[in-house]
Amino acid sequence: MESGVGDVVNLHFGWFDNAAEPIAVAQERATRELLAWLPVPPARLLEVGAGVGTTLALLIERGYDARGITPDGSQIDFMRDRYGKDFPVEPVRFEDMALPAEKFDCILFQESGQYIPLEALFTRAAMLLRPGGQLIMCDEIMPGEAESGESLHSLVQLKSVAAEHGFALRHARDQLARAAPTVALMLAATSRYREDLRQLLEVSDEQIDALDESNRKYQSKYASGKYGYVSLCFSFAGAQADQAGSSQPGSETPGVFKDIKH
Ligand SMILES: C[S@@+](CC[C@H](N)C(=O)[O-])C[C@H]1O[C@@H](n2cnc3c(N)ncnc32)[C@H](O)[C@@H]1O
């Protein structure tokens, strides 16, 4: 409704240049900027958490040998309805993925990494990526140390687990200021479309209130610096480094939000 295209195009935050622009424009920018870190096609890509398939379809259109996964059967049905029954998506959790015949050149987590325990995420990624491959992600995150009771990953811990598995951080960007308007927009939207949400999605007032409450909690944690949003790009040294538990690549990584270029 908000994007005016009558369809769900993306399930991720927008990266806004200004808070007044349409969410669809900001979401499309987020994908475009994230994909700028990809290797050039043709390359074997895995998109983890393919959502409604928009990014995966774009990758295929750009000439990548790309496939996607999501554990959500309704998303699989939605993608197959939209893109055809041969759309290359599988209903599986990343942590349960079988080893492919050929390893991937790149694994992409566009706001799906926060749902996967860190140890499982980097263990599986090390099994699925070829040496020299890339792991690219963007997500909400806690910039500081891990805390019990918090559902987001700690960036400090993420970098440490990544390094233990042979992943060296190449780029890190703080996207919070650009992503945060998404939450304000969601709060405005639940107010504007409350009646439609109740009727079309059959959700209750209590559920909408709980969503608003959760969004306000996120807003205050963004404001206090407890929660953040980053985009990250790692390169994988290879299984040998992983087995040796090498943490050396991580020691060369930049400060939390500094970007380094090669
Ligand atoms: C916020 S949505 C993002 C969807 C899509 N990447 C996008 O940007 O529009 C999170 C996605 O992660 C998927 N997901 C959640 N847990 C997962 C897991 N354990 N393994 C793989 N995907 C998972 C969800 O089903 C959903 O597709």
CA 76–ligand 1 middle distance (angstroms) = 11
Instruction: Of 102, 97, 169, give the one whose Cα is nearest residue 134.
Output: 169
* CATH assignment at residue 148: 3.40.50.150
Instruction: Of 82, 90, 80, give the one whose Cα is nearest residue 49.
Output: 90
CA 50–ligand 1 middle distance (angstroms) = 6
pLDDT of the chain along its 262 residues, tens only?
776 666 788 899 999 999 889 888 999 999 999 999 999 999 999 999 999 999 999 999 999 999 999 999 999 999 999 999 999 999 999 999 999 889 999 999 999 999 999 999 999 999 999 999 999 999 999 999 888 888 899 999 999 999 999 999 999 999 999 999 999 999 999 999 999 999 988 999 999 999 999 999 999 999 999 999 999 999 999 865 444 443 333 333 334 444 433 3
CA 248–ligand 1 middle distance (angstroms) = 30
CA distance 69 to 87: 11
214 in any annotated domain: no
CA distance 45 to 39: 9
CA 62–ligand 1 middle distance (angstroms) = 22
Peptide bond into 42 cis (omega under 30): yes
Could you give the number of structural domains in the chain? 1
33: CB partners within 8 A, 6+ apart: 15, 231
- The residue segments making up the domain with residue 146 are 93-178+227-249
123 in any annotated domain: yes
63 in any annotated domain: no
CA distance 6 to 112: 24
Q: How many CB atoms lie within 10 A of CB 157?
A: 16
202 in any annotated domain: no
142 in any annotated domain: yes
88 in any annotated domain: no
If one residue of 70, 82, 109, 140 were mutated to test the ligand 1 pocket, choosing by the most ligand atoms within 8 A of its CB, it would be 70
245 in any annotated domain: yes
164 in any annotated domain: yes
